[in-house]
Amino acid sequence: MFARHDLVWLSARGWEQVLAAVPHAQVGALDAWSRAGWPAVVRRDEVTQTADRLAVGFALPPRPADGLKVRVAGSVAIADVERHAAPLPLLAAMDTVPERWRAGLAALEQEATAHGFVLGAYGSVALQAITGQAYLKESSDIDLLLRPLNEAHLRDGLALLARHAVLLPLDGEIVFPDGRAVAWKELHAAMDGTSSALGTRVLAKAMDRIALVRLDELLASLEEAACPN
């Protein structure tokens, strides 16, 4: 039901749970976040988490003094999630990214659409678009999510990201049908087109664990999703 980077809007009781558990120094910022109606972001499950709870997180804007982005972890009852949405589409963030990225991102978005991809955004790009606060710096990356339908689609997507990464600071993950996600740069490096590469292990992140997974296993999960019968 929930996946990493999803957006969730909490009930008043959910916010009470979050505010009661966070460090005192962050209460004011998160109370303002609540009053603004901004969502929390779903993160990986905690080790001791029960099935009726959801791990969420908040990344506050970089502090003016040192540029540090404070991240606050929380946990809420699933019953106190009022609304749930997939990560923000990149298209919805285009008007808030720096001018120096806009032409390149527009070209990437257009080509991605032609290949059947809906690019999701997370991290600083998404948070700046959602909150209107200043998250992006000169050193910021553009964190994207790409969900391939099969192996050929995956290869098209990796080639697409690699081409546009020459001009844009692209980062992010490839999300497989079962929810596991691998950094696209790591996956691109592993998929060198040879049969020996299929035994390569890559770091895959899921809601309940992080594990090294064989590349051929991930590719098989794509084909299983494409041909469920």
Beta bridge partners of 144: 121, 172
**Distance of CA 167 to CAs 91, 104, 170, Å?**
18, 7, 9
Q: Which of 141, 156, 178, 208 is catalytic?
A: 141
Q: Which of 6, 143, 156, 171 is catalytic?
A: 143
CA–centroid distance for 229 within its chain = 30
**Distance of CA 119 to CAs 34, 174, 218, Å?**
27, 10, 20
> Is 143 a residue of the active site?
yes
Q: Rounded distance, CA 57 to CA 71, Å? A: 7
Burial readout 163-197 (b: 16 or more C-beta within 10 A, e: otherwise): ebbeebebbbbbbbbeebbbbbbebbebbeeeeee
Q: Rounded distance, CA 17 to CA 14, Å? A: 5
Pull the structure tokens for residue 129.
């678009």
CA–centroid distance for 38 within its chain = 17
List active site positions: 141, 143
